[in-house]
Structure 1
Amino acid sequence: MRLGRVATTGGPRWVRQAADGLIPVTDPFVAFAEGQEPEDAGPRIEGTVIAPVDPLVIVGIAQNGPAHVSPVQAWLKSPRTVTAGGVDVVLRRDAGGQVAEGEIAVVIGRPTRGLTAQTAHEYVLGVTAVNDLSSPERAAFDPRNFESKSGEGYTPLGPWIDTAAGIDDVRLQVEVDGRPVAETGSRQLPMSIRDCLAYVAAWSRLGPGDVVMTGAPHSQAPVGPGQIVTVRVAGIELVTAFV
């Protein structure tokens, strides 16, 4: 199932993507806690698709890899940087060059107390696409990633959560202006998604709607104003134009 949210006059509303349009559904996190899929909750509706979740926590994985002097690490990104696909993002002019980082994002379905690498899938609502936009030159002044990751709109997310894709074999593609720059996936990550989630959960409990960005060791590309980046995760297409 592909789940998302649309903006309505009454606030965001959960929907599923169907062949004939957008079908309202019940809260998927409540359903997940009960071991069920969300149920249809009305006839087809129309609306603007927005980011699929409002996470309280976004965790990034620094995929340092075997050649790096440090082990794989995690870091935090402000949830206020999240924006929907299709929304123009204004690149900062005071932060040096910009890099688009296409990543597989994991949406947590329930509190991660007890999560292990073996049971990680039991805590995941689904996966979606994320563009972890970065200003890497700022790392020379700020090694904690705050300045390099905190631009407004620097986390395009969505537009859909795929609840059936699993976490073990997820494809990832990145294009800039229609030109392929990366063809990779979860199997190419130096640290598996299961191990990433287990590492994070061992230090900090996550909850429904929180997001873990699983790293971009093979899916980065420099970008500038006027360019369009497409990130595909499990076939979900996230398109962002930069201005």
Structure 2
Amino acid sequence: MRIARFTTGDDPLFGVVTGEVDQFGQPSDDTVVVELAGDPLYAGLQPTQSEHRLADVRLLAPVIPRSKVVAIGRNYAAHAAELGNDVPEEPLMFLKPNTSVIGPGDPVFYPPQTQRLDYEGELAVVIGRICRDVPAEQATDVIFGYTIANDVTARDLQHKDGQWTRAKGFDSFCPLGPWIETVLDPSDLRITAHVNGELRQDSRTSLLIHDLPKLIAYMSAVMTLLPGDVVITGTPAGVGPIVAGDVVDVGIEGIGVLSNPVRRK
């Protein structure tokens, strides 16, 4: 089931995307969004009688975390190698502020403080309930669904600061979307990133060093995870710079495509 957050010009709404959507996230002519009565993370799945053509609505970030985005670095061996880093023995965890989240089609703003802005396509997980100390074998019980993330990074600031808060935390540095897929096996999905139509990243989630159950167990042993928290799981090899005027398309098999332009702030 695809859960979208969208607007028709007024307040944000939630809905279920029904109808055919191809592997590139493009809807068929009969694809519609059936409105839900409230945020499904809190109100459950309560369809209403209202529906809209998907082509007539503006998709928003499918979730705005009330609390946090928990991110993992260097979780693909080839990516760690391309940046000259060792593979961490344990998950390398950091936080992105919820104010960094934007939706599909929203611009990633290139801030004046950096001279090197990079894209990083990633699988994202939306947490569905309050949880702490989750055993790995029960990790799927706390997952609401899956979406796509771009962990935008000011690479020069990452090296300069010696820690990642500023480099990963600017407004617009966490695009999410286009929707949440609630029924998906995330263990072996193709993940790609294109810049201006050119393929830059092409890997599979089966190559994650630390898989989703381990990540959720590890994180929840440190901090309580709340409904709507987002976990982004790491990026594969092929990251690189983007400039104003570029368009980044991150695709994940079974979910769709997250597309964002880059603009100067």
Q: Is TM > 0.5 for Structure 1 vs Structure 2? A: yes
Match of 2:209 among 169, 180, 190: 190
- The alpha-carbon deviation at position 166 of structure 1 amounts to 2.9
Superposed CA offset, 1:83-135 (max 9, x none): 11101222113212111000001000111234221111111111101111001
Rounded to whole Å, the distance in 2 between the matches of 1:230 and 1:114 is 35
Aligned residues: 238
Q: How does 1:96-107 map to 2 (within 5 A)?
A: 96-107=115-126
Matched AA of 2:33: L
Query: Would you say the 8 A contact 1:108–1:209 is kept in 2?
Result: yes
Rounded to whole Å, the distance in 2 between the matches of 1:198 and 1:71 is 12
Structural RMSD (CA) = 2.0
Query: Would you say the 8 A contact 1:121–1:166 is kept in 2?
Result: no
Rounded to whole Å, the distance in 2 between the matches of 1:31 and 1:172 is 31
Match of 2:81 in 1: none
Matched AA of 1:11: D
Matched AA of 1:22: V
Match of 1:61 in 2: 72
Structure 1: any 5+ residue segments left out of the alignment?
33-37
Matched AA of 2:3: L
Query: Would you say the 8 A contact 1:112–1:205 is kept in 2?
Result: yes
Instruction: Indicate the larger mover: 180-189 or 57-66.
Output: 57-66
Structure 2: any 5+ residue segments left out of the alignment?
20-29, 78-85
Identity of aligned residues (%): 29
Match of 2:40 among 8, 12, 28: 28
Matched AA of 1:117: A
Does 2:262 align with 1:242?
yes
Query: Would you say the 8 A contact 2:75–2:234 is kept in 1?
Result: no
Rounded to whole Å, the distance in 2 between the matches of 1:239 and 1:80 is 19
Match of 1:35 in 2: none
Q: How does 1:132-211 map to 2 (within 5 A)?
A: 132-211=151-230
Matched AA of 1:208: P
Rounded to whole Å, the distance in 2 between the matches of 1:219 and 1:114 is 34
* Higher helix residue share: 2
Instruction: Indicate the larger mover: 117-126 or 216-225.
Output: 216-225
TM-score by length of 1: 0.90
- The alpha-carbon deviation at position 4 of structure 1 amounts to 1.0
- DSSP 3-state at the match of 1:138: helix
TM-score by length of 2: 0.83
Rounded to whole Å, the distance in 2 between the matches of 1:43 and 1:214 is 35
Instruction: Indicate the larger mover: 179-188 or 69-78.
Output: 69-78
- The alpha-carbon deviation at position 64 of structure 1 amounts to 5.4
- The alpha-carbon deviation at position 17 of structure 1 amounts to 0.8
Q: How does 1:121-132 map to 2 (within 5 A)?
A: 121-132=140-151
Rounded to whole Å, the distance in 1 between the matches of 2:186 and 2:87 is 25
Cα–Cα, structure 1 residues 167 and 116, in superposed 2: closer, same or farther, change >3 Å? farther
Match of 1:80 in 2: 99
